[in-house]
Amino acid sequence: MEIKLSSVRVLEARDLALPQVKGLSQNRLLQHLLFWFVYVSFFGLLYGSYIDDYYNAFMVELVELPFKMALVYFNMYYLMPVYLLRKKHLEFFVYLLLLMGAIGALMQYVLMPLLIHPLICPTTCTEDNMSLYRFVRNIVNINYVVAITAVIYLLKNWYRHQQASQNLAKGKLEAELQFLKGQIHPHFLFNTLNSLYSLTLKKSDTAPEVVLKLSGLMDYMLYDAAAAKVALEKELNYIQNYLSLERIRYADRVDISYTETGRMAGLKIAPMLLLPFIENAFKHGVSTETANAWIRIDLKVQDGELVLLVENSKYENAVKQQKQDIASGIGLKNVRRRLDLLYEGQYSLEVEDEPESYAVRLELTLENE
């Protein structure tokens, strides 16, 4: 009980600490306050070092701050979204310049004589501060903060669009992968149920074993195969169960050879990725042949690299039909697309179509668990 209570206290402490850590990155008010604090501090120190009077410099910055803030937020939340982002560049720059001129005139000819000159710098402020030259300098000074905030706004807007595009692309990719995987499941189930149907017609004693193995395969497809990656050992066990079903189905009609070499533990692979190669060997290579049919499956793993070689015999009268089936088969088309999406630049796929045999060789770089 003490352990459980300690765990709860740790979780509570962690949950209380997280908002403090994430507060600045998620709180827009704090971000804005920090920006204006840094802005006033930087330009106050800069201007103060220039006139050698830091108090007056900071006081002037603080007095002018509300007007600069009004200009900045009006620009970011109205002018830029309404005109600049809609590519109305001329209207944007005209309105912005007019607004900056109005704010500059307000600060120069209202704030300076009525507030800044009499209260902040009655001795240091001179007539030169009321001149046209000073007015132009104020406009340039205002331009700094407008430019800085505009760049920040555009960068954030670009980042949001990039994130939205990436999320959209990711969503489309996941939807396509789920669609391709969903096509494989019923395709395999259809073939297996056909096998079971043929066994029940023959009243074979192996039908119950087929049902049991099929149940295990369905469990894998419904639960394990729903993940993005599964342990390689699970995928290979799934293939072995599939081969067991096919051995029951074909009995002595087909010579099936399957070998595994290498270290499989600790590696991951996309589920249902290897089966279509093996399934097509049965479907298009030996399903209608009555004698001398064979399938060879050789799987090697070395240093995280998987090499799968699947070969099957071909019978002369069905070569043309086999080529058409392979070219239009759902399984191989899907697996090629899934390889492109999941293992781009990390796989090679070679097909050898000989007069009496058909071979597929896949080399794939696997991930560690």
Q: 8 by DSSP, 3-state: which?
A: helix
Answer whether 294's CB lies under 8 Å from 258's CB: no
C-alpha closest to that of 249 among 288, 294, 192 = 192
- Looking at residue 84, the DSSP 8-state letter turns out to be I
Count Cβ atoms below 10 Å from residue 267 Cβ, excluding itself.
Answer: 20
What would the two tokens of residue 348 be? Answer: 């090679």
Cα–Cα distance, 221 to 182 (Å, whole number): 10
Answer whether 272's CB lies under 8 Å from 221's CB: yes
For residue 267, the model assigns a pLDDT of 93
Cα–Cα distance, 45 to 47 (Å, whole number): 6
Q: What Rg, from alpha-carbon coordinates, does the chain have?
A: 36
Cα–Cα distance, 276 to 343 (Å, whole number): 16
What are the residues whose beta carbons fall under 8 Å from the beta carbon of 349, sequence distance 6 or more?
Answer: 336, 339, 360, 361, 362, 363
What would the two tokens of residue 334 be? Answer: 């899907």
For residue 362, the model assigns a pLDDT of 94
For residue 120, the model assigns a pLDDT of 64
Residues of the chain with CATH 3.30.565.10: 222-368
Q: Which helix (H) or strand (E) holds 348?
A: strand 347-353
For the structural domain made of 222-368, what CATH number should be given?
3.30.565.10
Q: For the chain, how far is it from start to end, CA to CA, in angstroms? A: 34
Question: The pTM is what?
Answer: 0.51
Each of the 369 residues of the chain gets a pLDDT tens digit; together they read 333 333 334 334 344 444 444 455 568 888 888 988 988 888 888 877 877 777 777 877 788 788 888 888 998 889 988 888 888 889 988 988 888 888 877 777 777 666 666 666 655 555 455 566 666 777 777 788 888 888 888 888 888 877 766 765 665 666 555 655 555 556 566 766 776 777 777 777 777 777 777 777 777 777 777 777 889 998 898 898 888 888 877 777 888 999 999 998 899 998 888 888 888 888 776 766 656 789 999 999 998 899 999 998 887 655 455 444 444 445 577 778 888 888 888 999 998 888 788 899 999 999 887
